[in-house]
A and B are shown apart, each in its own frame.
Chain A
Amino acid sequence: MRGTKWNLMPVGGPLFHHDLVVGGADRPWDEAWGAGFHRNLGRTFGRGFTWGIQGDDLPDEANRITLDPSTPDSDGLPGVRIHYTVSENSRRMLAWNLARVREAMAATGATETYEVPLWGTGIGHVLGTAVMGDDPARSVVDRWGRTHEVPNLYVMDSSAFVTGGAVNPGATILALALRAAEHLADERRAQATPR
């Protein structure tokens, strides 16, 4: 369900290239190191490209942020704990697209391919947790990013996203923020403030 975006990218500099292409823990020593290091670096560096598959991770109430008293900040306030699991839909969607990428790579004449089925560290966009909606029972902010519970408090970033989409969210974040800011300015005389 839903979709993906494919990003065509270079493989990166030699350190990243080595980690990705031949330096993995599952590689035989003679391939990754020693004479193999030089042989494979010379053979592959600057001769590859990457297809990055970016998928729409569906919203799931089990994916959430909770307060964590065991990890307080420097002011003694509770820290946060992130609860996140990659969904079955996302795994299947990525697997299907990975199979299509194999086909695309073969069609370009690739002699070797290396796959990372799920890139879990540092890749992705953090969205949701303060979702937008008309019903205070099912959302945190209204259509303008104004919180239902706290007067005069707005959330204007990707926290307000209800769904993620498969594309980079930067432009949408900017558009929502501009829209919310314009509304805030237009309605500034009608804002309820905490007493």
Chain B
Amino acid sequence: MTAAAPLSPAARATLRELADALIPGGAGQPSASTAGVADVLIDRVLAVRLKAAPSFVALLERLAADPGPGTPTERAQRLRRDHPTDFQLLAGFVVGAWQLAEPVRAAIGYPGQGPSDVTFEDETGYVTEGLLDPVLERGPRAPGI
């Protein structure tokens, strides 16, 4: 699977406007543009969402070429009302990109995904605690079958 074509400057500008309509900043959390959604962050999302990336890029290019009337918020609302699948695509990429920003993660208390150190004792503690003793004492349920 190959990467999608990069966003044009016009598409990126459109993304910046619409992303800020979705995530304008507030409650101690940065806006989409402040966080860098329309810049390096969206490129990171495009690089990992290879199946959806071409559709997303095509959508942004269409919206850039024909934005329609109104403010960015009105345009985003119209997209959500009239083309909910396209809106969900836009929203998923925007929120996904936004949460990659370290200031966002610090603001909302989300450290991101990381390794979970599971020890052998963590996984076998229920054996040493005796939880399976009745099963072990019972033995095989259907011997000889």
Q: Is the CB of A34 within 8 A of B29?
A: no
Q: Is the CB of B28 within 8 A of A42?
A: yes
Q: Is A91 an interface residue (CB 8 A)?
A: no
Contact with B along A20-54 (1 / 0, CB 8 A): 00010100010001110111011001100000000
Q: What is the CB-to-nearest-CB distance from B3 to chain A, in angstroms, rounded to a whole number?
A: 21
Task: Please report the number of residue pairs spanning A and B whose Cβ atoms sit closer than 8 angstroms.
Answer: 59
Q: Is the CB of B108 within 8 A of A45?
A: yes
Instruction: State whether A34 and B92 are in contact (beta carbons under 8 Å apart), knowing that A14-B108, A42-B27 are contacts in the complex.
Output: no
Return chain A residues, CB-CB under 8 Å to B91: 23, 33
Contact with A along B19-33 (1 / 0, CB 8 A): 001111111110000
Q: In chain B between 1 and 43, which residues have their CB closer than 8 angstroms to a CB of chain A?
A: 21-29
Number of A interface residues in the complex (CB < 8 A): 19
Q: What is the CB-to-nearest-CB distance from B135 to chain A, in angstroms, rounded to a whole number?
A: 12
Chain A contact residues: helix, strand, loop or mixed:
helix
Number of B interface residues in the complex (CB < 8 A): 26
Q: What is the CB-to-nearest-CB distance from A173 to chain B, in angstroms, rounded to a whole number?
A: 17
In the complex, A33 Cα to B80 Cα: how many Å?
11
In the complex, A15 Cα to B113 Cα: how many Å?
12
Instruction: State whether A143 and B95 are in contact (beta carbons under 8 Å apart), knowing that A25-B84, A38-B26, A39-B27 are contacts in the complex.
Output: no
Write the chain B residue with the least CB distance to A35.
Answer: B26
- Residue numbers of A with Cβ under 8 A of B are 13-15, 18-19, 23, 25, 29, 33-35, 37-39, 41-42, 45-46, 143
Known pairs A14-B99, A38-B23, A41-B29 / 18 extra A-B pairs, C-beta < 8 Å? A13-B113, A15-B92, A15-B99, A18-B95, A29-B80, A33-B23, A33-B76, A35-B26, A35-B27, A37-B22, A38-B24, A38-B25, A38-B26, A38-B27, A38-B29, A41-B108, A42-B108, A45-B109
